[in-house]
Amino acid sequence: MEKTVIGFIGTGVMGRGMVRNLLQAGFTLHVYNRTKSKAEALLAEGAAWQDSPAKVAAVSDVTITMVGYPKDVESVYFDDGILEHAKKGAYVVDMTTSSPQLAAKISAAAKEKGLHALDAPVSGGDVGAEKGTLSIMVGGEPEDAEAMMPVFRAMGQKIVYQGKAGAGQHTKMANQIAIASNMIGVAEALAYAKYAGLDTDKVMESIETGAAGSWSLSHLGPRMLKGDFAPGFYVKHLIKDERIALESAQTMGLDTPGLALSKKIYESLADGGEENSGTQAIYKKYRKD
């Protein structure tokens, strides 16, 4: 699998670290990003540039996408893009957090063209992308998921096959629903500790390994307290995920009031100019200074 040629579309906050780990694993990489400057460091490290998603797909055995929104996913696959230009028998893997319904649409179209499609969204943020410790949630045909395991292992630590096309995206929606309310809880807990006059570092020491412990508390809590709101995962992208999750839940007849409240609070944060901040910027809603 080391000789496999991988195309990677989307070298932003997450994609950059994922590409680096694929390079370190010995894969040949061709990359594309709408803003070429965001890929320059990767080109210096050995990746090759292609100037369109179609050209990436044409030279790759595996094409991975890690873009922003479902509309971006649909565009790179269907607008004279990946599905039209990928080599027959190639694998196409969308790792964007996107719509389960769109994942099923891509899978069906890929099969018609003799391609193997997987939806494989990730969790773990920029730190997980950099360290190669992402959780990867895979939907599609089981044999295709198995074939991609060497590629996934270069980027992630926990790789779980979830089921048919769209199952990876549905799993990511469950992940985002859990995070949505948890982020509100983390911000409120740390604000409470601060305004109670406590040493917030000591509070963190006590609560992060107890029943209140979570990835968000341990990794994003310290950023909140330091006033570090740089994006590991953008506010605008969490709102996008919450919107997809709400729409999917409504389709299933499931009421998710916690998710709806989190989306409302995050939309208020974005309206205040924080859409390009990291999700830990929710802490600003509770600061008095």
Residues labelled catalytic: 172
Q: Which tokens is 48 given?
A: 């090759």
Phi, psi of 118 (to 5 degrees): -135, 145
b/e code 216-242 from CB counts within 10 Å (16+ = b): bbebbbbbbbeeebebbbbbbbbbbbb
According to DSSP, the residues that pair with 278 across neighbouring strands are 234
Instruction: Look up residue 278 and give its two tokens.
Output: 């990291």
Cα–Cα distance between 69 and 58 in angstroms, integer?
23
* Cβ-based neighbour number of residue 51 at 10 Å: 9
Cβ–Cβ < 8 Å for 138, 152: yes
Residue 195, both tokens: 């305004």
The beta-carbon contacts of 228-231 under 8 Å, at least 24 apart in sequence, are: 228/278, 228/280, 229/274, 229/277, 229/278, 229/280, 229/281, 229/283, 229/284, 230/277, 230/278, 231/13, 231/126, 231/276, 231/277, 231/278, 231/279
Q: Distance (Å, rounded) from C-alpha 158 to C-alpha 166?
A: 18
Residue type, 190: L
